[in-house]
Amino acid sequence: MIGEPRGGYPRKDERRRRLLLLLLLLLIPFALGGLAVEWLGGGAPKVCSQGTPSVSAGISPLPSVSAIQSVGGVEATPIPTPTPTPIASAVGSGNGGAQVGGANFRITGGVGNLVPGVTTAIGLTLTNPNNVPIFVTSLTVGIAADSTPPGCISASNVQLTQSNASSADPIAVPAGGSVTLTSAPRAPQIMLLNLPGVNQDVCKNKSFALTYGGSAHS
């Protein structure tokens, strides 16, 4: 071409080589650092990291394992069995014939915290004032017809179970000593009946008078 200086084409080639070399120098750090540069539609480069993503410090840790077992996806907690509420008590005293030519032996005791439907032993103490041992062959417990304060009829609300003391299986009481009966079948038992469908609120906080009797021999 007219007016084109000599040596023009070599100069353009040299500039191109320099530009390519500069681009290679710019891309080498990205390749060594595990980074890729993506050009989208001529816009700004999008840098994608190939390393392991770090965990944000703001993420809450996993909850610890609960001591409550999960049943069917619903947390289940044990429900305690309700304890029946005591509503009445029974007290009494009495004397039994020792049949040994001396003083009669004495019977004392009682029971509290009667619960509907629960049989409870009546703790009895047998006291022998004689100077010889005695053998109690029978024990009997009676109950007043009504409570104190009145309102709870014993015939329909209370059940008594007598002691198993007998001539064949007597209870020995030492001379001048005593024996306390704390459990069945030696001790008599009492139960405040649980009557389904019957309102027994009248028996709450009531007390029953008990009477004791018995016989013994030396």
Domain ranges of the chain: 10-50, 88-217
pLDDT at 35: 44
Lowest pLDDT segment from 59-63, 117-121, 134-138? 59-63
Residue whose structure tokens are 């008590």: 89
Nearest alpha-carbon partner for 190 in 119, 112, 99: 119
pLDDT at 93: 56
pTM value surpassing 0.85 = no
CATH 2.60.40 fits 88-217, yes or no: yes
